[in-house]
Amino acid sequence: MKYLSFLFLIPLLSFGQGVLDESRKLIDDKHFNKAEQQLVRYIGSHQNEKEAIELLGDAYGHQKKWDEAAEQYKTLTEIEPNNPNYHYKYGGALGMKALSVSKFSALLFIDDIKEAFLKAAKLDPKHIDTRWALVELYMQLPGIIGGSKATSLKYANELEVISKVDGYLAKGYVYEYDEEPELAEKYYKMAIEEGGSFNCYEKLTTLYENEKQPEKAILNMEATEKVHKRNAMHYQIGKVCAEYNIQLEKGERCLMVYLENHSAKDGVPKAWAYYRLAQINKYKNKKSKALEYIDLALSELPDIEPFQKEKTSILNL
């Protein structure tokens, strides 16, 4: 008889896995509400199904329903208290909740956020995401409630042991946040040398832009494009040239390449490239060409305020 019972169980297990696979696909396809509804129904009859609970928490998180997401992840920490990822996700949901409320209300969550992240870090000495969260948390917290650059650097050092790239990026973040751009630059460059991912290059470019160093930003973006072959970098170079009225020929050339090779994956609509070309031609006192480009921008996105203001500026030349 027990063999017959096992045979009857197989279809039930297959059905359950089918629901979870379908829910995961709904989340991947950004149909978060549908996934939520399906998982709520499923969990109603499978209350301790960890995979379903985690997926439901993820579906809530994608919709910024932080209370509901935190509830699911907390349930997981109670079912499996030694799973570091569950504590990490619980702390993350509470952290996002804290960012969505007033600073006074956020204080109520700090201890629980710390506890969750520290528990995850203790359970898994190689949990990279948790250590990143701790680096950011201790930098952003005011000193009066436990914020500490030294503690952030402690976790950055732990990251460096696990992954040199992450350690260098974390230290770059700490020093950038603490307004020490020279040290931030040093560590972002070390990250590029060690790993060379697009993210490494982007962090350094953003630092240069924030520090109003457009020439350095352009050089780094050119290096990024050579390594990663992303058409979007041509727009970014053109944008910086237009914003700072520098290297106008290079900026125009890059924007033309961007338009010629444009595809949806580039992210920035063609209209913005036309807008930058209008700015560049305005600086070059080519009024008719500038008008031609700004009209192209407006024909695609007529309600964008900067485009309208730029046309007025060009007409006043």
**Is 5 part of any domain?**
no
Which amino acid appears at position 13 of this protein?
L
Written as one string, the DSSP assignment of the chain is: -HHHHHHHHHHHHHHHHHHHHHHHHHHHTT-HHHHHHHHHHHHHH-TT-HHHHHHHHHHHHHTT-HHHHHHHHHHHHHHSTT-HHHHHHHHHHHHHHHHTS-HHHHGGGHHHHHHHHHHHHHH-TT-HHHHHHHHHHHHHS-GGGT--HHHHHHHHHHHHHH-HHHHHHHHHHHHHHTT-HHHHHHHHHHHHHHT--HHHHHHHHHHHHHTT-HHHHHHHHHHHHHHH--THHHHHHHHHHHHHT-SHHHHHHHHHHHHHT--GGG-S-HHHHHHHHHHHHHHTT-HHHHHHHHHHHHHH-TT-HHHHHHHHHHHT-
**Is 38 part of any domain?**
yes
pLDDT digit string, tens, across residues 166-197: 999 999 999 999 999 999 999 999 999 999 99
Examine the pLDDT at 77 and tell me if it is beyond 70. Answer: yes
Of 17-21, 22-26, 123-127, where does mean pLDDT reach its minimum? 17-21
Examine the pLDDT at 13 and tell me if it is beyond 50. Answer: no
Judgement on whether residues 241 and 274 belong to the same structural domain of the protein:
yes
By the 8 A CB rule, do 62 and 27 touch?
yes
Examine the pLDDT at 209 and tell me if it is beyond 50. Answer: yes
CA distance 128 to 133: 9
Examine the pLDDT at 272 and tell me if it is beyond 70. Answer: yes
Judgement on whether residues 119 and 54 belong to the same structural domain of the protein:
yes
* Long-range contacts formed by 193-201: CB under 8 A, 24+ apart: 194/164, 194/165, 194/168, 195/164, 195/165, 196/227, 197/165, 198/224, 198/228, 198/230, 199/169, 200/165, 200/169, 201/227, 201/228
Give me the percent of the chain exceeding a pLDDT of 90.
Answer: 78
Q: How confident is the model at residue 141 (pLDDT cuts 50, 70, 90)?
A: confident
Q: Which residues contact 294 (CB under 8 A, 6 or more apart)?
A: 274, 275, 278, 307, 310, 311, 314
Judgement on whether residues 174 and 264 belong to the same structural domain of the protein:
no
**Is 227 part of any domain?**
yes
Q: How confident is the model at residue 10 (pLDDT cuts 50, 70, 90)?
A: very low
Judgement on whether residues 189 and 268 belong to the same structural domain of the protein:
no
Which of 183, 211, 239 is the endpoint of a domain? 211
User: Based on the structure, what is the number of domains in the chain?
Assistant: 3
* Confidence (pTM): 0.84
For the chain, give the mean pLDDT. 91
Judgement on whether residues 153 and 73 belong to the same structural domain of the protein:
no
More confident residue, 45 or 159: 159
Of 25-29, 93-97, 113-117, 141-145, where does mean pLDDT reach its minimum? 141-145
Which of 174, 191, 211 is the endpoint of a domain? 211
> So what's the pLDDT on residue 4?
45
> So what's the pLDDT on residue 107?
83
> What is the residue range of 162's domain?
127-211
Which of 99, 124, 149 is the endpoint of a domain? 124
Residues 6-17, mean pLDDT to the nearest whole number = 45
Judgement on whether residues 56 and 101 belong to the same structural domain of the protein:
yes
Exposure class string for 280-315: b at 16+ Cβ within 10 A, else e:
bbbeeebeebbbebbebbbeeeeebeebeebbeebe
CA distance 20 to 32: 13
Q: Kindly report the CATH number assigned to the domain that includes residue 110.
A: 1.25.40.10
> So what's the pLDDT on residue 23?
85
Residues 269-297, mean pLDDT to the nearest whole number = 97
**Max mean pLDDT range (5-19, 36-50, 192-206):** 192-206
Judgement on whether residues 217 and 315 belong to the same structural domain of the protein:
yes
Residues 22-37, mean pLDDT to the nearest whole number = 90
Residues 61-88, mean pLDDT to the nearest whole number = 95
Name the residue with tokens 């307004």.
179
> So what's the pLDDT on residue 109?
86
Examine the pLDDT at 46 and tell me if it is beyond 90. Answer: no
> So what's the pLDDT on residue 144?
55
**Is 23 part of any domain?**
no
